[in-house]
Chain A
């Protein structure tokens, strides 16, 4: 396997609030190769956005990347790099899109001006050239009439169109890595499908690596190659999307998958419920962080923290996986439905 474009190792991003410390991201490692999509999933509050912001170099006080954290991008260490240098990478080689395009677009500038600005920040081009580039990008992301739309203001566009503009702006410099943090969460189903298809098409065309953060397992299932499941500041399971969805090894992954209603299920069979709540980042449980909510937990889980065990093509941080593959007892019965198309 080629060495990944992005390699994050033992990332720990802590927030020092008064005398207390929120260990939002607490020892996260993953890699993404060119042209591949890694889906990062998990419930809210588990540290997905903080992971993304860390990679972008956007963590401010009281947050800090702790000693030993490593973010290697194209062979360069980003942790500790001077802000001036990071800025040349951010937006140019690493693009980012967020959940709410309205709050990341400036309401008083036209969308064309904003895309042009993103481009001019990193390329030595004239205003005219930047405008041409903005029109080109709007066309690339599928906005009809880009010559006209370039002069529109964000509020004159629908949510789906604004998200396209965000993507146009993030991709204006043809980044090699795209970080998309819940890019479709605020959008309607059919618009969500458009945006996901667009990101995937652009990934292929530009051979980008994509970090796709979402809590929507359906979205991950459609486009990701690999998946990393986060829980309480850690990655608890990784694997190819097919293997991980087919045979989840970590009880948290299993529970997540079994808690969503799926096509073909009826209310006669209750959905799986994960009891309790995500613990606080100010006081993670001392051993396995999922132990209090895990139906399989035994005494060791409350005493010792499991490492990531290799199980087949997956890796799972659960004591039950220490000796190899765990047969999930709640394997979903496949609904046998014929579907068109």
Chain B
């Protein structure tokens, strides 16, 4: 292995009850590359994303970020480490707090880490511009915007801490072609500017080929090659 900083799922095994969802899976995402993850439905792609996003503790194996092993999940992970990885999921409505305006939705992770309010406002404006949310849209709550607009807000939120790694789990599956291309373009630009590592999961083979630098197969519960 080279010394490029990377996000690594190392021999990760996850089971629910008696069912093994991931069986000693190893996937590595280098900074500066976009990896497409492909596999049949039910092969554990989404579980792998949750493990890499530090949302789910694997039964065996481990996740490491730039060589540092992480043995906790969620808020038990130190902020400096936790904010290195962000994830964007398929359904923005399921992910977004309906009581928050889009501005507050984007700002929330910054406020949670006690960022000064002036800096919060500056960063939120910068990101809302980046994802193309107009001032009018920013003041609205999720029910008053379209799925595409809400997903763009969720993308801004995911980028708010300038993560080194971004995981996209079918993040454009429910978007129309134009919004999908827009979201992908924003992520691509961010990835290049930040030299971030990006993982893209999609059922759409054409999208994966267009978007990824390389594609990894996650076949059933068998160990995946990287």
A binds B: no
Q: Report A's interface with B, CB cutoff 8 A.
A: none
Q: Report B's interface with A, CB cutoff 8 A.
A: none
